[in-house]
Structure 1
Amino acid sequence: MISIIIPVYNQAKSLDRCLRSIKNQKYDNYEIIVVNDGSTDNFYEIIEKHKSIFTYKLEYISQDNAGPQAARNAGAKRARGEFIIFCDADVELYPEMLKIMKGALRHHPEAGFVYSSFRWRGKKFRSYPYSEERLKQMPYINTTSLMWRDFFPGFDEKIKKFQDWDLWLTMMEGGHKGFWIDVELYKIHAGSTMSSWLPKVAYKILPFWPSVKRYNSAQKVIKEKHHLQ
């Protein structure tokens, strides 16, 4: 079984779309754990609507606002599946996604997780084949990846940016490699808080921009933690 963990903070509209895309999956051996991280919108209205659709497959947890890492960890602790995948509320899964990812993980026993290409703001992000050397240099694997639950080390709740990069580096250090599926399997909708992507031109032209400075500072934290400098 796959445990799908969705952290949510005031994203009721996005959550509705995300849950509908899960309902359309061609693989149905899953459970959904939605973690309400202190939302003040119509979260419960959306949950009640979908509970009648998913019945026993959907459960939710509510907690005071503690951030996405804490919400993901809370969901992982409740997971019963052999596999887990973290899916933010602004993600729309394509119908074949779970089926393809699970098949790839089963057929590549050397891998601890699998990841795919995806679309964001109209652009396809193909990612790259798994490489430890590349991973040490840059964040290129999105959080929405399927992994063996027993290999999940937990998110470091002190890390505020590049949580995905930190996770994959930690798994690499534990001996768990990734496998890339060169197929676009999901879409991240505009307005998302995906922080790992900044136009390369920003570095070349305006390295003093506050956003670039914050990016570089966050990158330094990860590199120091994993002794990459």
Structure 2
Amino acid sequence: MLNQTYQDVEIILVNNNSTDGSHQILHKYRSEFPDKIFVFDEAKKGAPAARNHGLNKARGEWIQFLDADDELLPGKLQQQFEIASNTGADLIAGACLLKYKLKNKINEIVRHADPDIWRGLITSNLGITSSNLWRKRVLLDVNGWDETLSSSQEYDLLFRLLKNNAKVAVDDAVNTIIHFSDNSISKSRDKEKLKRILENRVNLRLRIKNELRASGILTHQLAQAVDTYIYTELTNNYFAIPEYADDFMRKHRLDVKYSRVISLNTKMFLKHLYAQIVAS
């Protein structure tokens, strides 16, 4: 944040039960920049609680969330403030670069926000926490982050903002980099945890579909986007939690293109076969 070309900012650092000396580091920065940096403590564990704490302490009109593994390029804020000024938007959904470090190899994926706002929400292509710029007032209007959720918090928040008629603009410039290490991208072997994550993702899409239907704006394309997203999640996680996937498929009829079904199932079985070969 200190390298941003736009410098009329306050930097709020929230210590969330750290045990690695982060608290001392935060106060070191506070002593170096006493007019710009402010440090607070949040006892309730979890990113949503820490973000809500910072949100409530913030004095500015706009909020830029930033986690420890995120990097903002110098022009990020200036670029998105200009878009907000030109569009009157309440949320700027930004593009980002995802950098995955796997042993000695780095894979890079660019994710752009979808200009079709509801489709972007359904498919998780409406920016991410740090690539977006958020107007404080609209966040407070929906009571901020849901601290009861264990996952899918940012898209739950985006959903509530859209339901509350927040105006969204898209920023196609890549000014945010998310760094994933080997540890941060390893999947949990806790099947109950995986099930909760999957349930949160699936249930959110069902809520979106019901909202669109109730509002009279559920097109066939959007309904199919919801069903395809859910089927993709069920397929990708099938061998970890088959009971949940089978139970869901028995209760719900999903409209997914046949070519997509074949492609997903083929990938699922090949991935499972490869895992078995490696394990043996």
Q: Give TM-score scaled by structure 2 length.
A: 0.63
Cα distance in 2 for residues equivalent to 1:167 and 1:117: 18
Residue pairs, 1:112-191, within 5 angstroms: 112-121=90-99, 122-140=107-125, 141-144=127-130, 145-152=132-139, 153=142, 154-191=144-181
Q: Give SS of 1:216's match.
A: helix
Q: Does structure 2 conserve the Cα–Cα contact (< 8 Å) formed by 1:37 and 1:66?
A: yes
Aligned to 1:14: none
**After superposition, what is the alpha-carbon deviation per residue over 1:24-64, rounded to whole angstroms, capped at 9, x for unaligned?**
11110001111111111111231133223322111111122
Q: What amino acid sits opposite 1:125 in the alignment?
A: V
CA 1:132–1:94: 2 relative to 1, 3 Å: closer
Aligned to 1:201: none
Aligned to 1:221: 203
Q: Give SS of 1:220's match.
A: helix
Matched, 1:96 2:96: no
Cα distance in 2 for residues equivalent to 1:176 and 1:194: 32
Larger radius of gyration, structure 1 or 2?
2
Aligned to 1:47: 26
RMSD: 2.6
How many percent of aligned residue pairs carry the same amino acid? Answer: 27
Cα distance in 2 for residues equivalent to 1:127 and 1:108: 19
Q: What amino acid sits opposite 1:166 in the alignment?
A: D
Q: Give SS of 2:41's match.
A: strand
Q: Give TM-score scaled by structure 1 length.
A: 0.76
CA 1:79–1:65: 2 relative to 1, 3 Å: same
CA 1:34–1:112: 2 relative to 1, 3 Å: same
Among 34, 38, 50, the residue aligned to 1:71 = 50
Q: Give structure 1 stretches of 5+ with no counterpart.
A: 1-21, 199-208
Matched, 1:85 2:68: no
Query: Greater shift after overlay, 152-161 or 135-144?
Result: 135-144
Runs of 4+ in 1 over 4 A off after TM superposition: 192-195, 209-215
Q: Does structure 2 conserve the Cα–Cα contact (< 8 Å) formed by 1:96 and 1:185?
A: yes
Q: Give SS of 1:74's match.
A: helix
Q: Give SS of 1:56's match.
A: coil
Aligned to 1:34: 13
Cα distance in 1 for residues equivalent to 2:149 and 2:51: 13
Cα distance in 1 for residues equivalent to 2:159 and 2:74: 29
Q: Give structure 2 stretches of 5+ with no counterpart.
A: 100-106, 212-225, 227-280
**After superposition, what is the alpha-carbon deviation per residue over 1:121-140, rounded to whole angstroms, capped at 9, x for unaligned?**
24242323332330452222
CA 1:69–1:225: 2 relative to 1, 3 Å: farther
How far did residue 146 of structure 1 move? 0.8
Cα distance in 2 for residues equivalent to 1:155 and 1:193: 25
Q: Give SS of 1:49's match.
A: helix
Cα distance in 2 for residues equivalent to 1:25 and 1:182: 18
Number of matched residues?
Answer: 195
Name whichever structure is richer in helix by fraction. Answer: 2
